[in-house]
């Protein structure tokens, strides 16, 4: 056990977060995301019993977000014509406001198929049990100053 580290962050996940360098990307994927397919060239960490909000909140306690890009946190954009509501995005905004002074301004959106393409080159993908639709998040790591 370590002091000050959220208990949800497993040794495997902490190791991956430490290994990541500036500009490396991490995907926190909902339960519908094809994590194993997209993560063939990276690392896939299974966290099926957890939701994206609790994982995001814990990660942002130890993970600096990039300050050299406009949107170091990106969500998967809702497909045109989809009538899906995304109330979980409001929860993400509140979590980010607590973790980073830039608040929700650092959140962008990536078109669904572009998100998949970018996820293929992510350093790691966390596969969660999140049931909310369009709950996928891509984080870009910054530096500790």
Positions marked active-site: 22, 66, 116
Question: Which three-class secondary structure state does DSSP give residue 45?
Answer: strand
Look up residue 3 and give its DSSP letter.
T
Retrieve residue 21's tokens: 């360098």
The vertex-136 CA angle with 133 and 142, nearest 5°, equals 160
Count CA atoms within 13 Å of residue 27 on its CB side.
31
């Amino acid at each position: 056990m370590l002091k000050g580290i959220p208990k949800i962050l497993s040794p495997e996940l902490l190791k991956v977060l430490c290994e990541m360098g500036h500009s490396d990307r991490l995907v926190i994927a909902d339960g519908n995301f094809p994590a194993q397919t997209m993560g063939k060239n990276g690392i896939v960490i299974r966290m099926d019993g957890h939701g994206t909000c609790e994982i995001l909140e814990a990660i942002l306690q130890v993970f600096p977000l990039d300050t050299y890009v406009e949107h170091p946190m990106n969500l998967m954009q809702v497909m045109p014509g989809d009538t899906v509501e995304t109330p979980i995005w409001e929860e993400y905004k509140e979590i980010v406001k607590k973790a980073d002074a830039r608040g929700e301004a650092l959140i962008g959106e990536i078109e669904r198929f572009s998100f998949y393409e970018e996820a293929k080159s992510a350093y790691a993908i966390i596969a969660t049990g999140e049931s909310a639709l369009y709950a996928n998040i891509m984080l870009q790591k910054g530096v500790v100053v």
